[in-house]
C-alpha cells in the first residue's frame, strides 16, 4: 500500500480534514449527522423546517425518513400538542394549543377549522384520534359506509373501502346494516400500518352476535374477524374506542365496565370494571373522562366523602401494565382549585349534590414527555380552557372558547333541573387529541 | 512498541495521539467504546500508539472523558447505572456552547462513538427545535434555493407550524 500505516482515512475523516472551520456548517453538510438530528426533532419543527431549503425539504418529505421518525417519536411518547374541540352545535372545530398559552387577541388557528375530503360536501366529523392519525366520517353518511384516515400534520388522507362488506358476512347484498361503531388502532412503534375495527349488526336477520370486521392498511381490505361480540354486552358505545396497549377499549353506556378487544389477536377479553368507590365515599356521575396519553390509560371521576359539606376531589386513575388494575395516580382538590380559579364555583344555582358546586368539564389528561412532573389536566371552566399541573398545582389559561349554544326553549321549562347558566357551561361535544406525526396513511 | 502477548489482560493501555500532538494514555476497555478505535485494535492489535489526525486534543479529551465515565459506570452491574449514566450525560451536555458541541459531535462521529453521537444529536435537536427558519439558515449557513413564491407556498400549506 502506498499510504503510511495508521493514517487510514475513512470518507468521513477525509471530509472533516478538508472542512472549513465553521463547525455548524460542516454538521449540516454531513448528511448522516443531519439525518440523525432531524430524526430527533418533533414533527411540528420538521413541518416548519421544510422551508429551509430544497435539500431539507426533500430529506423531511422522504417516506423512509417519515416512517423512521414516527416510529421513533412514539418510543419516547409524544404527548398531545393540541386538542380539537367539536361542539355538538357547530360544525367547525375549535383548536386548543397545549404548547403555550395564547392571548385572546391571538387565538391559535390550528391545523384546520373544518374538514372536507373528495366530493363529500356535507363536511367531515372526527370519530377518534390515535397516535397522530384521525379516523373520520362524512357528517351525513347513512348509506355509503365510508371512513377516512387522516393525518392532520401532513394533510394526507386515505379513503377506506365501505364497511360492512356483505360478502364477508355471508349475506345478500340487499341486507341492511347498522354500523354500531368504528375504531382506529395504530401504534407506529410496532408497525407503520394501522387497522380499523368495525362493529355492525345485520338488520332483519337474527344473530346472537355482532359482526366484527377489521381493515388493515397493509392489505387494503376488510376481513371478517374470527372473534365476535355477544349481543348481551349491550349497551356499549362502539364508536371511537380508546386504543391502548394493542387493544381497543369501549366504555359501556352506564360507565360500569370496559370492553377490551385485542386487535392483532382478534380477541375480546372479559369486561374490566372501572375503579371501585371506596366505602363512605360518593362518586360523581358527570365530569368524567376516559382516555389515553403517552402510553397510559386514564379514567377520571369526581369523588367526595359522604356528607353534605365534605370536600370534593377529582381522582385520576391509571391502568397498570398488563391490566393489573386501576390505581390512583393523581388527586385534584377541587376546593384548592377554586381558590386559584374562583369562576369554577357555581354561584346562583340550587345545589343538589357536592359536585353541583363546581362547574367544569374534563377535556383531557396529558402525561408529561419525561416524567410525571409535567403531567396536567385540561379543564373547560365556563368559556375558558385551563391547564392544571398535578404536581406544581398551578394553573394556566390556554384560551377562550365560545360558549355552547343557548339552551333550547323546551328545556327552559324545567328551571330547577337545568339552569340556563349551568346548561351553557357544560361542554356538550367531543374532544380529540392532536399529536403531530409524519406517519403515512 | 508491541505487547508481549495477546492474553486476556484487561488493563492494557493505549496511547492516542491527537492532531495537535497531544497524547492520551487510556485503558483499552475505555478507548474501545469508540468503534473506530475498536476496529483499529482488532485489525492491527499489536501496536499501542494510535494517531488520530482529525481530532484535536481538546475534543479528544472530552470524548475520552465521556468514555471513561461510561466504562466505569458499566463495570458495576447495578440497575441504578442507567440512571447514573443518564444523569451524568445530562451534566455533560448541559453547558456546552454551540461551537464546542458541533466540534465534539464531529469528533464523536469520526471516532464512531455511536452512543455519544446519539447524545449530542439529541442535544442539537433540543437546541434547534424552537428556532425560526431564518435562524436555522443563519446557524447552519444555508442559503434558500427555492424559486420565488415556492417558499411562501410551502409556508402557507403548513401555516399552523409557524404559530
For residue A229, which of A253, A247, A208 has the smallest C-alpha distance?
Answer: A208
In a domain, B7, yes or no: no
Tally of domains within chain B: 1
What's the whole-model pTM score? 0.82
Chain B residues 52-111 with a CB less than 8 Å from chain A: 53-54, 98-99, 102-103, 105-106, 109-110
Helix (H) or strand (E) holding A70: helix A63-75
Output DSSP code: residue A41. S
In a domain, B77, yes or no: yes
- Is A23 within 8 Å of B54 when comparing Cβ atoms? no
Higher per-residue pLDDT: A409 or A362: A362
Out of A9, A13, A51, whose CB is closest to B155?
A51
Indicate if the pLDDT at residue A172 is higher than 90.
Answer: no
Please identify which residue in the block is written with the cell numbers 499501542. Answer: B48
Distance in angstroms (rounded) separating the CA atoms of residues A182 and A199: 6
Chain B residues within 8 A of A59 when measuring between CB atoms: none
Distance in angstroms (rounded) separating the CA atoms of residues A285 and A216: 37
| HSE-up of residue A381 (Cα within 13 Å, Cβ side) | 22
Out of A75-84, A246-255, A319-328, the most confident range is: A319-328
Q: What are A331's three cell numbers? A: 388527586
For residue A129, which of A240, A214, A286 has the smallest C-alpha distance?
Answer: A240
What residues make up the domain containing B116? 13-142
Chain B residues within 8 A of A26 when measuring between CB atoms: 102, 106
Q: What are phi and psi of A140, to 5 degrees?
A: -100, 100
| HSE-up of residue B92 (Cα within 13 Å, Cβ side) | 25
Size of interface A-B (CB pairs under 8 A): 118
Helix (H) or strand (E) holding B43: helix B35-43
Distance in angstroms (rounded) separating the CA atoms of residues A412 and A418: 7
Mean pLDDT is lowest, of A99-113, A278-292, A357-371, for A99-113
In a domain, B149, yes or no: no
Distance in angstroms (rounded) separating the CA atoms of residues B94 and B82: 18
- Is A45 within 8 Å of B157 when comparing Cβ atoms? no
Written as one string, the DSSP assignment of B91-157 is HHHHT--HHHHHHHHHHHHHTT-HHHHHHHHHHHHHHHTT--HHHHHHHHT----PPTTHHHHHHHH
Chain A residues within 8 A of B129 when measuring between CB atoms: 41-42, 45
Cβ proximity of A364 and A378 under 8 Å = yes
Indicate if the pLDDT at residue B3 is higher than 80.
Answer: no
How does residue A292 score in pLDDT terms, banded at 50, 70 and 90?
Answer: very high
Out of B51, B98, B126, whose CB is closest to A24?
B98
Please identify which residue in the block is written with the cell numbers 426533532. Answer: A41
Q: CATH number for the domain including B116?
A: 3.30.710.10
Higher per-residue pLDDT: A342 or A327: A327
Q: What are B100's three cell numbers? A: 464546542
- Chain A residue whose CA is closest to B45: A6
- Chain B residue whose CA is closest to A107: B163
Tell me the CA distances in angstroms from A343 to A358, A359, A395, A441, one per residue in order: 9, 8, 13, 43
Output DSSP code: residue A144. S
Express as a percent the part of chain A with pLDDT over 70: 79
Say what the pLDDT of residue A74 is. 54
The nearest CA of chain B is from the CA of A18 a distance in Å of 10
Chain A residues within 8 A of B14 when measuring between CB atoms: none
- Is B158 within 8 Å of A49 when comparing Cβ atoms? no
- Complex ipTM: 0.87
The per-residue pLDDT of chain A, averaged, comes to 81
Cβ proximity of A108 and B163 under 8 Å = yes
In a domain, B56, yes or no: yes
Write b or e for each residue in A324-345: b if 16 or more Cβ atoms lie within 10 A of its Cβ, otherwise e. eebeebbebebeebbeebeebe
Number of neighbours of residue B40 by Cβ within 10 angstroms: 20
Number of neighbours of residue A122 by Cβ within 10 angstroms: 11
Say what the pLDDT of residue A13 is. 45
Say what the pLDDT of residue A370 is. 63
Chain A residues within 8 A of B54 when measuring between CB atoms: 9, 13, 16-17
Give the total residue count for chain B: 163
Cβ contacts of A211 within 8 Å, gap of 6 or more: A164, A169, A177, A198, A199, A200, A201, A202, A224, A228
Out of B50, B141, B158, whose CB is closest to A22?
B141
- Chain A residue whose CA is closest to B17: A6
Indicate if the pLDDT at residue A425 is higher than 60.
Answer: no
- Is B160 within 8 Å of A24 when comparing Cβ atoms? no
The nearest CA of chain A is from the CA of B14 a distance in Å of 14
How does residue A37 score in pLDDT terms, banded at 50, 70 and 90?
Answer: very high
In a domain, B150, yes or no: no
Q: Which of A52, A58, A105, A436 to mutate to test the interface with B (most CBs of B within 10 A)?
A: A52
Question: B161 at the A interface (CB within 8 A)?
Answer: yes
In a domain, B31, yes or no: yes
Cβ contacts of A179 within 8 Å, gap of 6 or more: A145, A163, A164, A198, A199, A200
For residue A141, which of A159, A122, A128 has the smallest C-alpha distance?
Answer: A122
- Chain B residue whose CA is closest to A21: B103
How do residues A199-210 score in pLDDT, each as one tens digit? 988 777 777 888
Domain A74-166+174-404+427-434 is of which CATH architecture? 6 Propeller (2.120)
Say what the pLDDT of residue B136 is. 94
Query: Coil, strand, or helix at residue B14?
Result: strand
Indicate if the pLDDT at residue A3 is higher than 60.
Answer: no
* Packing angle of the helix pair B114-128, B98-110 (nearest 10 deg): 150
Mean pLDDT along residues B33-51: 79
Distance in angstroms (rounded) separating the CA atoms of residues A360 and A427: 8
The nearest CA of chain B is from the CA of A384 a distance in Å of 20
How does residue A17 score in pLDDT terms, banded at 50, 70 and 90?
Answer: very low
Written as one string, the DSSP assignment of B44-100 is STT--EEE-TTS-HHHHHHHHHHHHHHHHHHHS--TTHHHHHHHHHHHHHHT--HHH
Mean pLDDT is lowest, of A103-107, A110-114, A228-232, A362-366, for A103-107
Number of neighbours of residue A382 by Cβ within 10 angstroms: 18
Amino acid at each position: 500500500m502506498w499510504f503510511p500505516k495508521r493514517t487510514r482515512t475513512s470518507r468521513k475523516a477525509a471530509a472533516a480534514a478538508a472542512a472549513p472551520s465553521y463547525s455548524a456548517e460542516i454538521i449540516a453538510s454531513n448528511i448522516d449527522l443531519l439525518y440523525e438530528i432531524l430524526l430527533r426533532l418533533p414533527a411540528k419543527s420538521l413541518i416548519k423546517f421544510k422551508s429551509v431549503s430544497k435539500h431539507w425539504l426533500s430529506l423531511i418529505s422522504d417516506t423512509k425518513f417519515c416512517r423512521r421518525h414516527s416510529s421513533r417519536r412514539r418510543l419516547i411518547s409524544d404527548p398531545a400538542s393540541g386538542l380539537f374541540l367539536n361542539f355538538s352545535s357547530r360544525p367547525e372545530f375549535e383548536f386548543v394549543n397545549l404548547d403555550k398559552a395564547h392571548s385572546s387577541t391571538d387565538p391559535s388557528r390550528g391545523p384546520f377549522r373544518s374538514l372536507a375530503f373528495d366530493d363529500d360536501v356535507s363536511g367531515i366529523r372526527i370519530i377518534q384520534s390515535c397516535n397522530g392519525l384521525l379516523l373520520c366520517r362524512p357528517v351525513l353518511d347513512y348509506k355509503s359506509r365510508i371512513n377516512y384516515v387522516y393525518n392532520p400534520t401532513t394533510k394526507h388522507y386515505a379513503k377506506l373501502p365501505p364497511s360492512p362488506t356483505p360478502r364477508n358476512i355471508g349475506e345478500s347484498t340487499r341486507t341492511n346494516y347498522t354500523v354500531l361503531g368504528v375504531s382506529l388502532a395504530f401504534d407506529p412503534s410496532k408497525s407503520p400500518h394501522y387497522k380499523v375495527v368495525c362493529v355492525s349488526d345485520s338488520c332483519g336477520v337474527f344473530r346472537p352476535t355482532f359482526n366484527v370486521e377489521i381493515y388493515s392498511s397493509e392489505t387494503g381490505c376488510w376481513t371478517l374477524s374470527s372473534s365476535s361480540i355477544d349481543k348481551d354486552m349491550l349497551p356499549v358505545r362502539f364508536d371511537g374506542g380508546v386504543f391502548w396497549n394493542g387493544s381497543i377499549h369501549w366504555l359501556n353506556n352506564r360507565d360500569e365496565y370496559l370492553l377490551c378487544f385485542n386487535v392483532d389477536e382478534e380477541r375480546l377479553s372479559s369486561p374490566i370494571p372501572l375503579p371501585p368507590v371506596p366505602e363512605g365515599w360518593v362518586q360523581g356521575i358527570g365530569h368524567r373522562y376516559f382516555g389515553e396519553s403517552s402510553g397510559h390509560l386514564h379514567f377520571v371521576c369526581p369523588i367526595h366523602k359522604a356528607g353534605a359539606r365534605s370536600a370534593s376531589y377529582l381522582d385520576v386513575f391509571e391502568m397498570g401494565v398488563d391490566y393489573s388494575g386501576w390505581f390512583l395516580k393523581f388527586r385534584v382538590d377541587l376546593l384548592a382549585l377554586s381558590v386559584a380559579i374562583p369562576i369554577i364555583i357555581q354561584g346562583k344555582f340550587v345545589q343538589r349534590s357536592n359536585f353541583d358546586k363546581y362547574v367544569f368539564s374534563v377535556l383531557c389528561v396529558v402525561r408529561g414527555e419525561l416524567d410525571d412532573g409535567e403531567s396536567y389536566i385540561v379543564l373547560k371552566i365556563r368559556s375558558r380552557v385551563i391547564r392544571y399541573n398535578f404536581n406544581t398545582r398551578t394553573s394556566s389559561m390556554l384560551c377562550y372558547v365560545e360558549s355552547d349554544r343557548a339552551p333550547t326553549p323546551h328545556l327552559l321549562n324545567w328551571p330547577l333541573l337545568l339552569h340556563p347558566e349551568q346548561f351553557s357551561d357544560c361542554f356538550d361535544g367531543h374532544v380529540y387529541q392532536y399529536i403531530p406525526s409524519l406517519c403515512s396513511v | 512498541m508491541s505487547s508481549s502477548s495477546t492474553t486476556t489482560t484487561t488493563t492494557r493501555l493505549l496511547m492516542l495521539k491527537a492532531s495537535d500532538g497531544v497524547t492520551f494514555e487510556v485503558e483499552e476497555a475505555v478507548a474501545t467504546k469508540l468503534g473506530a478505535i475498536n476496529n483499529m485494535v482488532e485489525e492491527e492489535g499489536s501496536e499501542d500508539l494510535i494517531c488520530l489526525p482529525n481530532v484535536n486534543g481538546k475534543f479528544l479529551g472530552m470524548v475520552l472523558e465521556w468514555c471513561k465515565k461510561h466504562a466505569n459506570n458499566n463495570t458495576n452491574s447495578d440497575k441504578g447505572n442507567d440512571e447514573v449514566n443518564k444523569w451524568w450525560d445530562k451534566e455533560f451536555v448541559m453547558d456546552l456552547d454551540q461551537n464546542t458541541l458541533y466540534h465534539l459531535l464531529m469528533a464523536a462521529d469520526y471516532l464512531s462513538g455511536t452512543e455519544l453521537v446519539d447524545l449530542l444529536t439529541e442535544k442539537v435537536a433540543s437546541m434547534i427545535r424552537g428556532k425560526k427558519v431564518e435562524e436555522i439558515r443563519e446557524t447552519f449557513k444555508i442559503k434558500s434555493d427555492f424559486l420565488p413564491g415556492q417558499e411562501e407556498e410551502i409556508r402557507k400549506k403548513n401555516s399552523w407550524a409557524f404559530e
